[in-house]
Structure 1
Amino acid sequence: MTGSSSSHVAEGTPSDDGLGPRTAAMLAFGSSAAVLVVEIVALRLLAPYLGLTLETSTMVIGIALTAIAVGSWLGGRVADQVNPRRLLGPALGVSGAVVALTPAVLRATAEWAPAMLLLIASLTILVPGALLSAVTPIVTKLRLTSLAETGTVVGRLSGVGTVGAIAGTVLTGFVLVSRLPVSGILIGLGTLLVAGSGLVEWRRRRWNSTPALALAVLAGGLAVMAAPGGCDTETKYHCVRVVADPDRGSGRTLVLDGVRHSYVDIDDPTFLKFTYVRAIASVADAAFPEGEPLAAYHVGGGGLTFPRYLAATRPGTRSLVSEIDSGVVRVNRDQLGLRSQAGIDIRVEDGRLGLRRLHTGSCDLVIGDAFGGVSVPWHLTTMEAMTDIRRVLKQNGLYVANLIDHGGLAFARAEVATLSETFEQVALVGEPAALGLDPNAAPEGGNMVVVASDRPIDLRAVQKRLDARRTGWKIAAGDDLTAWTGDAQPLSDDYAPVDQLLQPYSPRDSR
């Protein structure tokens, strides 16, 4: 009989604690799902201030995993020392309040105390993540009534929690972000967590802090309305604002995640404000006879400044645009005056996949102007991508791409090296200091335009156009460009550390 009595655990049965198997499974599922929702949405909240880079993603994932580890460990440890029934309500309620307050707190911190942003962002992920991750070991403790079923209970609830995490990831990525603002997602999640906390404590009839937590959620919702840094539109990929030009009535600037991506003159598409766009126009106008219609492919759309320019200056031009963000396309139509303009066809798709759909030798001109945050998506920078671009170009076709880099310009040098491995002719257009053509000035970086083709590039004609548009930019090619590139390693699908090569910058640097 000794063996029989030792097989029982001291804690109460499900009927004692009121936590049946379905309730336990729901708590494990929901809390795990909530952790992943917070993780994914945190990336969206931080992108306007830190950029959507590999480093930002790594940081958020690392903090979330730390929260899961700490919460799981501490949750189990505390549940062994304290009645676990007393822990569920506070864990759900406090995490819900923090989650609901997160949008207003992060945006206010980014505007008024940017030096504190990383610390505050870490806490807004770590605190609710740890509390929610503690729920599974707590409900596991409550469900354990016999050592004979320990493996079954632990395995079942662990599996249910993992399924919840998967569901939270899929729901957020495919449904919530595309239909709701990120602030609405977090406030809604906070409301659900506090409501769950209230329900758990109502069944215990012992905890009276739910009204205070509900007020915190309400405060979070109201604070979002007054918090700085709001978006006109939140899309799947960006926080979008359209800013009117006070000096030009028909001018509009498209701002994505705090970065000025495009300037559009709704009434005059030939007006090009950004220097890099004037440089791209100078290259194209020098390479092809004036007014000649072209078959152009644009990797990245943004405000569609250059497709509009081609349509206006080269009637009959066919511009096919691959823009991954359907929300940006809607903004073009609703706020940037893009009507059913002849010759501009927009496909909502990834640029690398869009390239594969094009016929060999079908394009006179390919424009690369796709950015994820402030960097070119790495898979659009490699030799394999450049080989595909070369495939779709006609014999005398031209590839022109906008690059951004700072400091030592390591990424720009690597991209030039990549193009030099793929095309016969490569030239780089930019500020003289950035190109090493002004020995009295240190390079500050910024925008540069790289040109590649298998036909000779008329450098004099391009420079004449650049001077006429008062860009102040110069051209580097041949031995000068080879010396500038140095020993930079070409990028490939197997090796493309674009985010690491890019130098530090301010997220508000204009393009």
Structure 2
Amino acid sequence: MGSTRSLESLRLSKPETAVFVSGVASMGLEILAGRMIAPQFGSSIYTWGTIIGVFLAALSYGYHRGGKQAAERATNGRMASVFLLTAAYVAVLVFAGDLLLRSAAGFPLPSRVASLPAVTILFGPPTYLLGYISPYAAELSTKEGVGEASGHVYMLGTVGSIVGAFATTYVLIPSLGIDAIALVFGGLSILAALAVSRPVGRRRATVTGFVALVLVASAATGAAGYSVQGEVVHETQTPYQELQVVDLGGTRTLYLGGQPHSAMDLDDPNRHVFEYTRYFHLPFLFADDPDEIDRVLFIGGGGFTGPKRFANDYDVTVDVAEIDPDVIAAAEEYFGVSESERLNIYNQGGRQFLRETNRTYDLVVLDAYQKDKVPFELTTREFMTLASDRLDDDGILFANVISASSGPASEFYRAQYATVDRVFPQTYSFPTGGAGIVQNIEMVATKSDARVTEAQLRTRNERRDIGIDLSGPVADYADPPRTDDVPVLRDDRAPVDSLLDSMVGYRYVVQESNASDGAGTARPAVRPGGPVPEPRSVPG
């Protein structure tokens, strides 16, 4: 008898089920919002702050409206209707989310709040609807007293949010694409509608069936609007970012977070497709003796263009620290990467790897930055000091920075230069594109007190046989930038998001090579979902 009562106490009533599911759905949609918004607006603290703020505002307004109506209108049937409306809007997200996202990107707002219209349009309505559930459930609760009913509802909603957060983060995102995850929450809302409206009448069944049909049709039809330029051969949501492998015109490109990261010529896999990867060889001109570079560490793998070329072209051992396991898997399956005696791959963050390794390196290549997402822990003076400690006495640091070389969008580059220059005796930079555009800027830092001139690099390029002509990269030798108005980045103060914010709305230009060692031609980077939109502000 006691066990039966215990089981009865664990069984959720209809209002309790509704509250629990609303918590799961609202938190799951919030995490999903980050993945949907990031390719267009980045995943900075401003983007996430906007997402959290919009969700809280929408829920609050839903609580307010639902609370005013609860005393007279709260029924299980109305809660079922809320879930059906939520599922219907999720169908809109699946079918037209990308189109809505791009339309909302055109609002002339300051870059820090540029994502506000998109988040509001895409996720405000379903979150607002879910806000009705808690006051309705509190009104329908069998608990004695307002306090007990309210506390019970808050508890169940919070538990549901916890389940939604962990399930989305650890199960759904690593396993499913964005549309499939949205479909899961739409389906969950339909099941909740059925659960709280039992027994289901003919009219309710008809409406529920129609919403389910619309949801399935939206997923089967595919997203409206722009599509990736090229054939998507692989797509997944990794624990860290959206990943796509796209084939177009004999070139295979790896997109991370909606931005092109690496590319491979399918007919000539060792060719440098993106011009900036040719600059990776510059340290062989900075070294007093290039033959003394025999152990190299790459922090960040991507498509492993640099590591593959180094292991293939030089008598070196290459270690790669790549934090994202799905990036490693994609590189192995689609970019011809395989471990060997000369190439070792470690699924580990770069700073953690440097902190834990007992090896020293002749060259450390930092290639883990993206235009709108930079791990701040890899930018600070403390990290640069750690890298310097892991370099030999004549070791070299190479950093692939994405920023503008001058103008308003150059803040991150100049702050990074100031930080590196605070640790290393000599720092150099090589912009790969024109002035005032967001591009790859290659930085080289040495532990030598003697400064290497552009003329010395030209002479070494002519005399040294390193297997690649670097006359073009050498010609991009730049004067040190102004750094008196930017901070030196530290572990306790690294405002990377603020520095990256100045690049929002600027076109990211990738320099693409014409041949193995030919000159590059500027090509606007194309991201999944179609061409990069024109800047919302004109570079100064």
TM-score of the superposed pair, with normalisation by structure 1: 0.85
Separation in 2, partners of 1:335, 1:433: 32
Q: Which amino acid aligns with 1:63?
A: V
How far off is 1:114 after superposition?
Answer: 4.8
Matched, 1:93 2:94: no
Deviations 1:84-142 (A, max 9, x none): 33420111111112123313212233467753786354222111112112212211110
* Counterparts of 1:81 and 1:426, CA distance in 2: 71
Alignment-derived partner of residue 417 in structure 1: 418
- Between Structure 1 and Structure 2, how many residues are aligned? 473
Question: What 5-or-longer segments of structure 2 have no aligned partner?
Answer: 1-10, 108-114, 462-467, 511-540
Contact 1:101 1:221 (8 Å CA) reproduced: no
Tell me what 2:330 maps to: 331
Deviates more, 1:369-378 or 1:105-114: 105-114
Deviation at residue 463 of structure 1 after TM alignment: 4.7
Does the aligned pair in 1 maintain the 2:428–2:477 contact within 8 Å?
Answer: yes
1:449 to 438, 442, 453: 442
Q: Which residue of 2 aligns with 1:194?
A: 190
1:467 to partner: Cα distance: 7.6
Match of 1:299 in 2: 299
Equivalent residue for 2:347? Answer: 348
Q: Which residue of 1 aligns with 2:272?
A: 272
Mean CA deviation greater in 495-504 or 237-246:
237-246
SS of residue in 1 equivalent to 2:197? helix
Secondary structure of residue in 2 paired with 1:449: strand
Give, in whole Å, the separation in 1 of the partners of 2:302 and 2:14.
Answer: 47
- Does the C-alpha gap of structure 1 residues 169 and 140 become closer, same or farther in structure 2, counting only changes over 3 Å? same
Deviation at 1:433, TM superposition (A): 6.1
Kindly indicate whether the alpha-carbon contact (under 8 Å) linking 1:298 and 1:322 is maintained by their aligned counterparts in 2. Answer: yes
Counterpart Cα distance in 2 of 1:141 and 1:69: 17
Aligned residues: CA RMSD? 2.7
Match of 1:458 among 452, 457, 473: 452
Distance 1:177 1:508, change over 3 A: farther
Q: Which amino acid aligns with 1:376?
A: V
Q: Percent identity?
A: 28
Matches within 5 A, 1:242-321: 242-244=245-247, 246=249, 249=250, 251-265=251-265, 268=268, 270-287=270-287, 289-290=289-290, 294-315=294-315, 317-321=316-320
Listed as ranges, the matches of 1:158-197 within 5 Å are 158-197=154-193
* Separation (CA, whole Å) in 1 of partners of 2:78 and 2:295: 65
Q: CA deviation at 1:457?
A: 4.8
Q: Counterparts of 1:373 and 1:137 in 2: how far apart (Å)? A: 43
Aligned to 2:110: none
* 2:16 alignment partner in structure 1: 25
- Which stretch shifts more, 457-466 or 363-372? 457-466
Distance (whole Å) between structure 1 residues aligned to residue 417 and residue 154 of structure 2:
50
Are 2:276 and 2:432, in contact at CA under 8 Å, matched by a contact in 1? no
Tell me if 1:240 matches 2:240.
no
1:218 Cα deviation (Å)?
A: 1.9
Are the aligned partners of 2:318 and 2:342 in contact in 1 as well (CA < 8 Å)? Answer: yes
One-letter identity of the residue aligned with 2:393: Q
Q: Is the 8 A contact 2:88 2:214 kept in 1?
A: yes
Distance in 2 between residues matched to 1:26 and 1:432, nearest whole Å: 57
For the pair 1:429 / 2:422, whether they are aligned, the reply is no
Q: 3-state DSSP class of the match of 1:484?
A: coil
Q: Distance in 2 between matches of 1:190 and 1:373?
A: 33
AA of the residue aligned to 1:399: L
Asked if the contact 2:293/2:362 (under 8 Å) is kept, the reply is no
Cα offset, 1:173, TM superposition: 0.9
Shift of 1:413: 1.0
Cα distance in 2 between the residues matched to 1:493 and 1:123: 36
The answer to whether the 8 Å contact 1:96/1:190 transfers is: yes
One-letter identity of the residue aligned with 2:235: T
In the alignment, the residues of structure 2 paired with residue 118 and residue 320 of structure 1 have an alpha-carbon distance, to the nearest angstrom, of 41
Code of the aligned partner of 2:419:
T
Mapped to 2, the partners of 1:272 and 1:290 lie a distance apart of: 21
Would you identify which runs of 4 or more consecutive aligned residues in structure 1 move more than 6 Å? none
Counterpart-to-counterpart distance in 2, 1:243 and 1:174: 26
For structure 1, the 5+ residue unaligned runs are: 1-19, 435-442
Equivalent residues in 2 for 1:3-22, closer than 5 Å: 21-22=12-13
Aligned counterpart for 1:365 among listed residues 363, 366, 378: 363
Give, in angstroms, the shift of residue 395 of structure 1: 1.0
Alignment check: 8 A CA contact 2:91 2:186 kept: yes
How far residue 370 of structure 1 moved from its aligned partner, in angstroms, is 0.5
CA distance in 2, matches of 1:433, 1:219: 46
* Alpha-carbon distance, 1:394 to partner: 1.1
- AA in 1 matched with 2:190: V
2:322–2:345 contact (8 Å) kept in structure 1: yes
User: In 2, Cα distance between the equivalents of 1:414 and 1:62?
Assistant: 29
Distance (whole Å) between structure 2 residues aligned to residue 100 and residue 70 of structure 1: 23
The Cα of 1:187 is off from its aligned counterpart by: 0.6
The counterpart of 1:215, out of the listed 213, 216, 229, is 213
Partner Cα distance (2:181, 2:322) in 1:
25
Which amino acid is the alignment partner of residue 37 of structure 1? G
Could you tell me the TM-score, scaled by structure 2's length? Answer: 0.80
- Separation in 2, partners of 1:276, 1:172: 36
Whole-angstrom distance in 1 between the partners of 2:56 and 2:153: 19
Distance 1:267 1:353 in 2: 37
Q: Find the partner of 1:115 among 100, 103, 106.
A: 106
User: Which of 35, 43, 61 matches 1:70?
Assistant: 61
Match of 1:451, as an amino acid?
A: V
Q: For each residue in 1:269-298, what CA deviation from the matched residue of structure 2 results, as whole angstroms up to 9, or x when unmatched? A: 652232322222123344264455521111
292-301 vs 166-175, greater mean Cα deviation: 292-301
> Which residue of structure 1 lines up, in the alignment, with residue 381 of structure 2?
383
Moved more, 186-195 or 459-468: 459-468
